[in-house]
Structure 1
């Protein structure tokens, strides 16, 4: 195997992160061709959590992804905490018709409302808007904020928020928000290891599960969760380079039912990538393709 350290800057600060770093691993697929994995856990990961990322990297470097059941997947655009005008531009980037808007940041609810409204207007009546609070709200704040954000998301003529991602920190809080609002609740940070999904579903804490291949231990580990629970799945990235992002795409291509756009367009936030041509959405969708690794 070959190991290549990499470090790539972000073009836009995202959740306090300004760069991504890790190791690319070249191995051999069963058909004898090169296969690449990415090991890039965040610095605050415990050894146990980092080990699952390693398992995902080894799965990829040995070419052990399952066969796809579709040729492409719909992808949402990513809108960080930015002024409304710039947010509207990012919302429709790469032909996406669904946008995920970061909220509950430093600007407060008024800024969030303006951002969501601008995104909704840019997408128009056929577009979809979802918001992600990254667990920053308490239950009461989440319920109050979702009333205003749901109304703002109707600005483009659509039906309001598609869903809210991780409004509060704990699964118990997610369950309470779900009982007190009509907006669908998606669990993201509450599903970081395979067993987490069992607890989330036992508590009735989510309408949707966000699955990320690397933190969960790989594509097949995620598919085990899909097999256990009859709940809609959204496949998302963990801010990897395009090499790691390919694992998320492999998962999305293999999930039997995929009713929502996936959060796999994050390579657009990188100032440079680990491949010659980054893995980005085209006309709002992504397909697997050969990538020339340059890191």
Structure 2
């Protein structure tokens, strides 16, 4: 099996954001990544996406690109499967491409799954990510009218008092029953995090995501136990080993997993299966190829929380897609044709 021949190709992309994404880590102006395609002797094709975010501890785009170039146009199943340690986004992309290739023509992508859990999940809500300022308020009203009921907003990049006032305006505009996720991207210190949690008491907050830096594990766990507002971790929990470590130390909150950054799916899907309700599957701002693979894996895992894939408004309509533009997703079309369309647009 490992020596079966494959045709392998890849394309590099750079996509400017419609509006640069401002986080506590600075201004992010464009998304860089690599699309990959493999084809076997039977004409079956598979697609994947390598979408690193270096500050999450992934490889660089340059490192992934060097490995892709080393494969050459003609390679084997064994070689594309043997992704070196330290290239988690590349490993995920190759696993996705292999799963798509192995699926029979016309069938959906088969991800590692728990059939009992999957049978219960027919559709999943989607959370919409809002930009800051007036643009975010305008989009909130539009998204609410379209049926979204979970929203996400970045905090920790500006003055505390001004940001709290802005969150209060967002809360005032939320439709009945809606919830808000706040993401600090590890940009708060312990004192400011406590001020935030005190200010948010009684508001419809689903969780505050990554309030403290990645290396502040003990402080983050203590914060989660000492305050009524739920917390989530994102940058601090990229792969299966991270999940195990936080669980062992008593983490009571939510895990936000970006499949595109987490490595080979079979390594982390077993951890999700322990308690799917504790997990959110989220976008890493990929194209439609990465989005469809990630959402398919969310259904396979049996998660129930709103998917963090409502990021379609962050890109111009360049044909590469990315994110999910509707408030609910029901089993994405994961047939080969959907991936081929995106591949051809680059």
Aligned to 2:19: 12
Mapping 1:111-126, distance limit 5 Å: 111-126=162-177
8 Å contact from structure 2 (residues 180, 206) kept in 1: yes
Q: Answer yes or no: is 1:36 the counterpart of 2:64.
A: no
Q: Deviations over 1:211-252 (max 9, x none)?
A: 111211043333122134576111011121221122221221
8 Å contact from structure 2 (residues 239, 268) kept in 1: no
- 3-state SS of 1:65 partner: coil
- 3-state SS of 1:288 partner: coil
- Aligned with 1:270 (options 306, 315, 323): 315
Mapping 1:108-147, distance limit 5 Å: 108-147=159-198
- 3-state SS of 1:92 partner: helix
- 1:256 is displaced (CA, Å) by 2.3
What RMSD in Å do the two structures reach over aligned CA positions?
A: 2.7
- 3-state SS of 2:307 partner: coil
Mapping 1:10-159, distance limit 5 Å: 10-14=17-21, 15=23, 16-28=27-39, 33-43=44-54, 45=57, 47=59, 51-62=87-98, 63=100, 65-66=111-112, 69=118, 70-83=121-134, 85-86=137-138, 88-89=140-141, 92=144, 94-106=146-158, 108-151=159-202, 153=203
More helix by share: 2
CA distance in 2, matches of 1:262, 1:29: 33
Gaps of 5+ in 2: 1-7, 60-83, 101-109
Q: Answer yes or no: is 1:213 the counterpart of 2:213.
A: no
Deviates more, 1:198-207 or 1:60-69: 60-69
- 1:91 is displaced (CA, Å) by 5.3
- Aligned with 1:285 (options 312, 315, 329): 329
Q: 1:230 to 1:79 in 2, by over 3 A?
A: closer
Q: Deviations over 1:3-53 (max 9, x none)?
A: 111111111211321111121011249996433211121355554886010
- 1:167 is displaced (CA, Å) by 1.0
Q: Deviations over 1:81-133 (max 9, x none)?
A: 32363463465375311001111112x22232233223223222211112111
Mapping 1:241-252, distance limit 5 Å: 241-252=287-298
Q: Considering only CA atoms, is the larger Rg found in Structure 1 or Structure 2? A: 2
Deviates more, 1:180-189 or 1:33-42: 33-42
8 Å contact from structure 1 (residues 97, 284) kept in 2: no
Gaps of 5+ in 1: 154-159
Aligned to 1:223: 269
Aligned residues: 285
Q: Deviations over 1:234-276 (max 9, x none)?
A: 1011121221122221221112242x2110112321124553x
CA distance in 1, matches of 2:330, 2:41: 24
Moved over 4 A (4+): 28-33, 43-50, 228-231
Deviates more, 1:170-179 or 1:82-91: 82-91
8 Å contact from structure 2 (residues 276, 301) kept in 1: no
TM-score, length-scaled by structure 1: 0.85
